[in-house]
Structure 1
């Protein structure tokens, strides 16, 4: 790993085994993440996009070892966390945190906000290796409330007393408590109203400018990804189909699936050249029985016989961009 790479996944896969001997159809394997390799550089935001069910959230949880990968390697700050013991992993946890999708379900309704945000501060020792004092925890809580735009009086309230946007700010404060270097934001604005989405997105960007945090930002809203990320990775049926700088990917998509996603985004500027609409046929195949060859060939308007039998590797397309396609758009 180079010094500017904070996180790297190599040939990462995650499978779930469903059913059993007494289930109709027998035991089946769901390939949620299939041979994914990517890097996340320090201080950047990597946007992860794709349709619902493509494996984005599973990949995000694997990157933090919330799910144990079925195969592959994850390097965080040069340490292989796939081989780390429970004790070794606990020492790394303060530097890698997550903001969950549902601000209603991710907060314990029986506990006050101060208790929720203070929990990681009580579980993990301070930088000196000793337990934090109550005064130090109180000062950190006040600092966190200021960072996320909430009042210090909010620490004494319960989660049900807040709006959805405020609850997500509480989740962000909890993730920031231990001063992490990496945060995985899993659809963290999708459950919010549009106006509140903009406020929370601006908060994420402001925190990155002030604290130098690295994000893996998972979303299906391409307008959000374009606003927050410097690089974008596109997933389809558990695999990466395109990665590259966000501006390059959005202006000249290489993979037909990326082109279809971007062509479906409404254009606000009526003076801009009209995009060619790419209409996809059929539904997303089941991850329990993915197609042979290129897994997108069943819906791709450019598919040929080669696509049905030969899986395309991620190939360089110039401008630090890679795409897995035999017949790219560029």
Structure 2
């Protein structure tokens, strides 16, 4: 039986910075603070939904979680083992247990290779299976994700977007991973196809005892699939808690604004739910604002918010928030 209280992945004050420009340019080298001081625990068997506006660092964090990016600060712990500074050779045995599904299935599949070969590739690299055994495993994987046996001989361009994403999922689960990071896996798909992929992911999680980190900017989808939700703004997590609680009683002003934009059928006694409109744009990660990073757009910001950066703290049992003045609902 899966122990949902057992951490499988932890980040401790994790940060990722990128240097851009050159010393010969007018502005010299500048630093992009893509992910900053993120501490997150993913427990075995659950789905952690990571949400936020475009450009808030979700995809960068996803690539850090599977060590596709080197980490600038903090620690990344996988099943109690610090993998922050491991070399590519040291990471290789972990690759089969830690997989990723990318946002754009067209860009993540080599157009010059048949999809059967693409799904078989991790099996050739990480296992000692014979060619016949690999072929049987690929056929089994195609059946698991709802593709036909003769699809193995086709090229990616011969599939629809939803089918290509099924191929990407088949490749990700080929080695029976423990954790799959899903970087906006349905955002490039039609609404009806999104529902099919979400249902497929739920079925696979139950059959294969998978743990998910599900990244999206569509909060309706995240609410449907997530056990817990972490809300991200400008590289940092500002709120975290059980999915239904965060949706019902968001504590951070940014979470409130995001959730107010989600279409609902229910109405409040006075009519439709009030929409919170944020003013201004997301500040540049090249020059994050002092104090709370959200304060230039926050409708309830006070002087303290402009000078002192709030730390993530316990707000209620199972709930965390990084705000000096969280909303008590």
TM range (shorter): over 0.9
Partner residue, 1:296: 294
- Aligned residue-pair number: 324
- 1:105 alignment partner, SS class: helix
Partner of 2:242: 245
In structure 2, C-alpha distance between the alignment counterparts of 1:33 and 1:185, rounded to whole Å: 18
Residue in 1 that maps onto 2:86 = 84
- Which residue of the other structure, out of 94, 99, 102, is the alignment partner of 1:100? 102
Unpaired runs of 5+ residues, structure 2, are: none
Q: CA deviation at 1:85?
A: 2.6
Separation of aligned partners in 1, 2:26 and 2:226:
44
Q: Is 1:228 the counterpart of 2:225 in the alignment?
A: yes
**Which of these residues, 180, 184, 187, is aligned with residue 183 of structure 1?**
180
Shift of 1:275: 2.3
- RMSD over aligned Cα atoms: 1.3
What are the ranges of 5 or more consecutive residues in structure 1 without an aligned counterpart?
Answer: 126-130
In the alignment, the residues of structure 2 paired with residue 83 and residue 22 of structure 1 have an alpha-carbon distance, to the nearest angstrom, of: 31
Distance (whole Å) between structure 1 residues aligned to residue 5 and residue 298 of structure 2:
39
Q: Supply the distance in 2 between the matched residues of 1:3 and 1:56 (Cα, whole angstroms).
A: 24
Aligned to 1:164: 161
Give the match for residue 281 of structure 1.
279
Please list, as runs of the form range in 1=range in 2, the aligned pairs for 1:263-282 lying within 5 A after superposition. Answer: 263-270=260-267, 274-282=272-280
Aligned residue number for residue 317 of structure 2: 319
Q: How far off its partner does 1:319 sit?
A: 3.1
The C-alpha deviation readout for 1:272-293, integer Å capped at 9, x for no partner, is 8632322211111000001000
Give the Cα separation in 2 of the matches to 1:283 and 1:87: 42
Of 251, 272, 275, 1:254 maps to: 251
Q: Does 1:205 align with 2:202?
A: yes
User: TM-score scaled to structure 2, two decimals?
Assistant: 0.96
TM-score calculated relative to the size of structure 1: 0.96
Taking the aligned partners of 1:33 and 1:281, their CA distance within structure 2 comes to 23
Contact 2:267/2:273 (8 A) holds in 1 = no
Please, which moves more after superposition, 224-233 or 264-273?
264-273
Q: Is the 8 A contact 2:23 2:29 kept in 1?
A: yes
